[in-house]
């Protein structure tokens, strides 16, 4: 039963994501190994949107590790565990709770032993900066436990890069790039065990840097970032962007960012979308979304839009059904949804 609910939820969430995003580009699906335990390691920019994009649209159906504080609400706890999420505890959650991570790591090792797909974010934190942050050791602890139980376990590390156009805005676009798998056995073969952690972290970070726009120069990050905007790069194309970054010479120059001209069609589409869904838009605006951390705005906006739209259509249907035949109401709802989705793509 739980598996059925998981499948239904993944389908519905994927359906909602395709309606919520203007464009979703997924490349590298052919890189996913078959019938082998997978440790999926993406970069992390966009709250809970990152894992649900992979879980619902990338044909992986992984188990996840997520920060424990999102499990505190009973409804959220049920939902997250149903879609195969497990809590990971941090120092800020309390030192006493850190001991629970040992049990979680053991469960993760067992999942790999049974050739399941496990996903966690090796950076350990999320952030909108265009860079791959320093990798933590959590994924290595899980790997080492699994390999102690079965030294010949053929674990494949699958790096994935997230590339959002402007994740704080709506509608946004995202490119998900699935990299080449890293064979743990081949990487650590004939290497001293003391070097395994360093080798794995270097290999994973190297691959993640290829899969997303990466500004390595933190001292001059703002200048490089402004230069990319000045060049009007497409953040869905990290290969091109990383070439521009590699060839750029720091000059301490200010690059004025001109406001992008919005076409009449895009403006009209946004206005019409807001008119069609005025109650949903109004409540969201009144909720003061700026109070959320910027990395979680998309998560709350998507959850609100999905639930809000369903309730909005339900209320409209109930009222209209009292006046006109149900078939006409159903056609109206389908047309409303189709037009709203089209407008999102046009904006």
CA distances from 99 to 91, 121, 288 (A): 10, 20, 37
Half-sphere exposure (CA, 13 Å, Cβ side) for 173?
Answer: 14
Which of 50, 45, 71, 75 has its CA nearest to residue 60? 50
> Please, are residues 147 and 153 in contact by the beta-carbon 8 Å criterion?
yes
- pLDDT at position 293 is 76
User: 3-class DSSP state for residue 14?
Assistant: helix
> Please, are residues 70 and 63 in contact by the beta-carbon 8 Å criterion?
no
> Please, are residues 121 and 40 in contact by the beta-carbon 8 Å criterion?
no
β pairing state of 23-27 and 173-178: parallel
What CA–CA distance (Å, rounded) separates 273 from 170?
12
What CA–CA distance (Å, rounded) separates 253 from 240?
22
- pLDDT at position 209 is 96
User: 3-class DSSP state for residue 142?
Assistant: helix
Q: Is the dihedral of CA 305, 307, 310, 312 positive or negative?
A: negative
β pairing state of 23-27 and 63-67: unpaired
DSSP structure string for 18-62: HHHSSEEEEE-GGGSPSSS-EEEEE---STTHHHHHHHHHSS---
What CA–CA distance (Å, rounded) separates 64 from 99?
19
What pTM does this model have?
0.90
Residue 249 pairs with which residues in a beta bridge? none
What CA–CA distance (Å, rounded) separates 241 from 293?
26
β pairing state of 182-183 and 63-67: unpaired
DSSP structural state of residue 131: S
- pLDDT at position 296 is 83
Q: Is the dihedral of CA 106, 110, 111, 112 positive or negative?
A: positive
User: 3-class DSSP state for residue 176?
Assistant: strand
What CA–CA distance (Å, rounded) separates 155 from 38?
6
pLDDT per residue of the chain (347 residues) written in tens, 0 to 9: 777 888 888 899 999 999 999 999 999 999 999 889 999 999 999 988 999 999 899 988 899 887 777 787 788 888 888 888 888 877 676 667 777 888 888 999 999 999 899 999 999 888 889 999 999 998 999 999 999 999 999 999 999 999 999 888 899 999 999 999 999 999 888 788 878 999 999 999 999 999 999 999 888 999 999 999 888 999 999 999 999 999 998 887 777 777 678 889 999 999 999 999 999 999 998 887 777 778 788 989 999 999 999 999 999 999 998 999 989 999 999 999 999 999 999 99
- pLDDT at position 66 is 79
CA distances from 30 to 158, 180, 204 (A): 12, 9, 19
- pLDDT at position 288 is 77
Question: What is the enclosing helix (H) or strand (E) of 177?
Answer: strand 173-178
> Please, are residues 134 and 123 in contact by the beta-carbon 8 Å criterion?
yes
What CA–CA distance (Å, rounded) separates 107 from 120?
13
What CA–CA distance (Å, rounded) separates 315 from 283?
15
- pLDDT at position 109 is 92
């Amino acid at each position: 039963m739980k598996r059925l609910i998981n499948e239904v939820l993944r389908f519905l969430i994927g359906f909602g994501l395709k309606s919520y995003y203007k464009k979703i580009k997924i490349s590298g699906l052919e890189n996913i190994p078959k019938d082998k335990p997978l440790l999926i390691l993406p970069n992390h920019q966009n709250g809970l949107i990152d894992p649900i994009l992979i879980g619902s649209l990338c044909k992986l159906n992984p188990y996840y590790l997520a920060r424990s504080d999102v499990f505190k609400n009973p409804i959220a706890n049920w939902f997250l565990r149903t879609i195969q999420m497990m809590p990971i505890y941090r120092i800020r959650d309390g030192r006493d709770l850190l001991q629970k991570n040992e049990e979680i790591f053991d469960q993760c090792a067992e999942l790999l032993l049974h050739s399941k797909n496990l996903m966690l974010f090796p950076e350990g934190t999320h952030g909108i900066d265009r860079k791959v942050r320093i990798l933590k050791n959590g994924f290595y602890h899980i790997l080492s436990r699994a390999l102690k139980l079965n030294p010949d376990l053929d674990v494949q590390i699958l790096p994935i890069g997230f590339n959002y156009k402007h994740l704080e805005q709506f509608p946004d676009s995202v490119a998900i790039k699935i990299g080449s798998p890293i064979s743990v056995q081949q990487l650590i073969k004939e290497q001293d065990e003391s070097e395994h952690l360093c080798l794995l972290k270097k290999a994973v970070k190297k691959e993640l840097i290829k899969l997303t726009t990466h500004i390595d120069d933190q001292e001059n990050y703002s200048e490089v970032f402004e230069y990319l905007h000045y060049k009007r790069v497409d953040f869905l194309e990290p290969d091109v962007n990383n070439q521009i970054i590699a060839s750029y010479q720091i000059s301490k120059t200010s690059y004025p960012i001109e406001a992008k001209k919005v076409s009449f069609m895009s403006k009209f589409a946004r206005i019409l979308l807001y008119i069609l869904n005025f109650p949903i838009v109004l409540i969201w605006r009144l909720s003061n979304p700026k109070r959320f951390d910027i990395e979680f705005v998309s998560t709350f906006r998507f959850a609100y839009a999905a639930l809000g739209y369903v309730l909005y259509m339900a209320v409209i249907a109930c009222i209209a059904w009292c006046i006109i035949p149900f078939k006409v109401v159903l056609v109206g709802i389908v047309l409303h949804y189709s037009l709203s989705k089209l407008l999102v793509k046009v904006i």
